[in-house]
Amino acid sequence: MANIKNPPFWLVLGLPWPDGSRNDTEECAQAIAPTFIPREAQSRPVQAILDFGVGLHRKHGMRVLFLSELTGFLRRAQASWAEIGVPDFDTALNELLEVPTPALFMSLTQHAHMLLCTAGNAQTISHSPENPAGRTVDPSEYAELKKNLQGALERDWPAYIDDLTRSGHLRGQ
């Protein structure tokens, strides 16, 4: 088994943007290492989400996958979450967010959060005060966000795991 301080990949989930926030950045993303989550302790729908992510990682070799990308892969294959064993995606997502596993919370800008949550959508339109009519998001923006998050995770994840181990919250790693 690979070292948890350097997992094969991370799955990054977008959390709700805090209501009424006027901050430039907020803690609105969570990164987990799916290969270290014991499947037998999870519901079948959560297992299906994790296994789908592992399969895409193996096929495409990405170190960072956005949950929204998984949905996009399904959409492009003309499939659905229900077809792979996730009949109620919202319930499964809530369960996934509660899985007792290391989960590094990340702060993003509102624009980066929008990219994280829409990476599986073709032709996402971004509206802003500077461009109220909106503009189509360029795919390079997703790639840049993924590159930045991968760099942050490669830098911060090992220290996070060390802190969990030192505090006794993580054993045997």
pLDDT score for 139 = 82
Task: Decide the pairing of beta strands 125-128 and 10-14.
Answer: unpaired
Sort 139 into a burial class: Cβ within 10 Å, 0-12 / 13-18 / 19+.
Answer: exposed
Radius of gyration of the chain (CA): 16
Residue 57 has pLDDT above 60, yes or no: yes
What predicted TM-score, i.e. pTM, was given to this entire model? Answer: 0.89
- In whole angstroms, give the CA distance from residue 165 to residue 36: 15
Q: What is the pLDDT of residues 112-169, one digit of tens each?
A: 998 898 876 665 555 455 555 555 777 888 899 999 999 999 999 999 999 999 999 8
The per-residue pLDDT for 31 is 98
Please choose, from the candidates 11, 2, 1, the residue with its C-alpha nearest in 3D space to the C-alpha of residue 101.
11
Average per-residue pLDDT for the chain: 89
- Within 17-170, residue ranges assigned H as helices are 44-60, 67-76, 89-98, 110-118, 139-166
What is the DSSP track for 68-110? HHHHHHHHHTT--TGGGT-S-HHHHHHHHHH-SS-EEEEEEEH
